[in-house]
Every structure is written in structure tokens, then in C-alpha cells.
A and B are shown apart, each in its own frame.
Chain A
């Protein structure tokens, strides 16, 4: 079995910076779609054991009720999943911004969730790929759960990996009650490959 993955401080810094640029591009797309200003956080890059993954998810949201969409991505030896977790309290504000009239049916909420997931996941993943010269293909987004609690989600997400690199981005929208977490999870092999890809960025001149 290969050595467990670990990131040096420089590698972590590099991935964080690449994510910073990518999430800026994603935020720009969302800002234009909703005509708002998206507040950008500092992305969190960590290598976690899969059994810590449950804790990561739990710490994300205090909300009782969330909805989540998952989307796989693969390209040039790097693969993983983008997990968008949406605080259900956000829906009423989003529907206002998207001009959906009145109370939302579960189906309409799903449509909105898919719209936002497509914009954020897509732009963020392509943004990371663009900087590393990887052409990512993305699978269709899959709903993991609607109006469920975080523990239900975790039980579904018994991932196939021992350790994983998790990039966590918490997007909020200024002046609105909209809060969502984007988690990018990479397989162990992908992280090793990413480490090779970024090594040229880290070379000293």
C-alpha cells in the first residue's frame, strides 16, 4: 500500500491559492446570475481521514435542514467529487433573487439548487483545471438529499477512500440569508498526481 498522502506547507499554500482564483471566477458567475455581491472566504485545504470527514461535515452547518448536490469530476489523472451543501433557510432569498413567485414546491427548490450547483461547481472546477492545464469532465449533478439533516448525508457518504484532500469554501451573499458550502474532495491517487502537477509552480527561481 502506498504511503498515506500528506501535504507540505508550500503545497497546501499553492492549492489554496489556486482555489482562491477559481472560487473568484465561480463567485463572479454567481454574482452575475443573481445580481449580488458574493463574499469570498479564505478556502480551507486539508488532508483528512475518511472518519474525520463526518466531523468536517458536521462542523459545516448548524442548520437542522440542508439540501445537497454532488457532482463528480475527472481529467488527466485527477478525480473527485464536488459536494454543495445548501442551508435550507437560503431558499426563500434565492427564490426572490431568481424571481420565482410565491412559495416553492420541492421540485422548484430542486431546480434552484441545481442551477446554483451548476454555476458554482462548474466554474470552480474548471477554474482549478484551467490553472493546472487539466480539462475536467463533469458528471451530471446528483441530489444527495433534500431537506435532510447532516447526519443523514454522512451516512450516505461512506466514501471509498482512506484519506482524502478536502477543499472547503463557504460562500455567503451580502445582504441576504444565503449560505452554502462547497466541498471539493479528491481521491488519494489524485492528490499524488496534483502534487506532481503543482511541483513546477513551487520551483524556486
Chain B
């Protein structure tokens, strides 16, 4: 079964790093968004299960994106991926409905652990 996911980050390099950090043998269809607005459009247009969301972005940042998802009850799980490692940032995004928080630079093992914790991948994935 293929998992449809969105990687939302204003940085091209960060989008690439994130997609490289996904488990190797996990079947996914990855779409990219450069800001929250693009990500929300994607969520509304298709059947996505999961979003990796950056916080600091132009146009619509991560916090605003979480708010839109929450207010409109959009059916997507969000994992925040950010360089903002202040404990307060983590608490805020959790309160706003993000299921987890991964700090940048992204660590492949950490990504696999989080995905396994939420049953998004099985135990066999590296």
C-alpha cells in the first residue's frame, strides 16, 4: 500500500533532505509544497495521509497552517519538522494538533522511530 504524503518547507534543500530521510523501503508518493498555502491546497485536492511541516515559512507559516487544518478539520496527520528547538515551540504545535515534532537537521532514524510509533510503518522498515 502506498502512503501519500506532503513535504512542506520553503527551502528546496530541506525538502530534499526530508525526502531522503524517509525509510528506504517505505512505499510513498511524495508531493511538495513551498508554503502552508500550497500545502492546504494539496490537502484539499487529494487523499493525503501525512504532512511533514516546517514552521518558519513565507506566505503561510507552520503555525498558521496547523490552525487552518484544525479549524477546517482537514483529515491529515501532521509531523512538524523545524529548526526551532525551543520547548515552547514543541508544546505549541502539539496543542495545535501536530502528532509529533522532529528537529532539523533531520535524522533518518528519528523519522523511522516516529513513523513506527504511529503505526505508519511496520517494524521491518529501516
Residues on A close to B: CB < 8 A?
A: 10, 13-14, 16-17, 20-25, 27-28, 31, 37-38, 40-42, 131, 201-202, 205
Residues on B close to A: CB < 8 A?
A: 10-14, 20, 55-58, 82-89, 103-105
Least Cβ–Cβ distance between B81 and chain A, in angstroms: 11
Least Cβ–Cβ distance between A12 and chain B, in angstroms: 10
A25, B88: Cβ atoms under 8 Å? no
Residues of A within 8 A of B88 (CB): 31, 37
A23 to B103, CA, bound (A): 13
Other contacts beyond A24-B86, A27-B86, A201-B13: 5, CB < 8 A:
A10-B13, A24-B83, A24-B84, A24-B85, A31-B86
- Known contacts A40-B56, A42-B57; A10/B84 CB under 8 A: no
Least Cβ–Cβ distance between B104 and chain A, in angstroms: 5
B11, A13: Cβ atoms under 8 Å? yes
Residues of B within 8 A of A22 (CB): 83
Which among B56, B85, B86, B103 is the interface contact of A42 at CB below 8 angstroms?
B56
Secondary structure at the B interface, as helix, strand, loop or mixed, is loop
- Known contacts A21-B104, A205-B20; A16/B85 CB under 8 A: no
B84, A27: Cβ atoms under 8 Å? yes
A13, B13: Cβ atoms under 8 Å? yes
A38 to B84, CA, bound (A): 9
A16 to B82, CA, bound (A): 13
23 contacts between A and B (CB under 8 A): A10-B12, A13-B13, A14-B13, A17-B13, A23-B83, A24-B82, A24-B83, A24-B85, A24-B104, A25-B83, A27-B84, A28-B84, A28-B86, A31-B88, A37-B88, A40-B55, A40-B83, A40-B84, A41-B56, A42-B10, A42-B58, A201-B13, A202-B13
A16, B104: Cβ atoms under 8 Å? no
Secondary structure at the A interface, as helix, strand, loop or mixed, is helix
A17, B14: Cβ atoms under 8 Å? yes
A37 to B10, CA, bound (A): 23
Residues of A within 8 A of B56 (CB): 20, 40-42
Q: Which residue of chain A has the shortest Cβ distance to B91 in the bound complex?
A: A37
Residues of B within 8 A of A24 (CB): 82-86, 103-104
Residues of B within 8 A of A41 (CB): 56
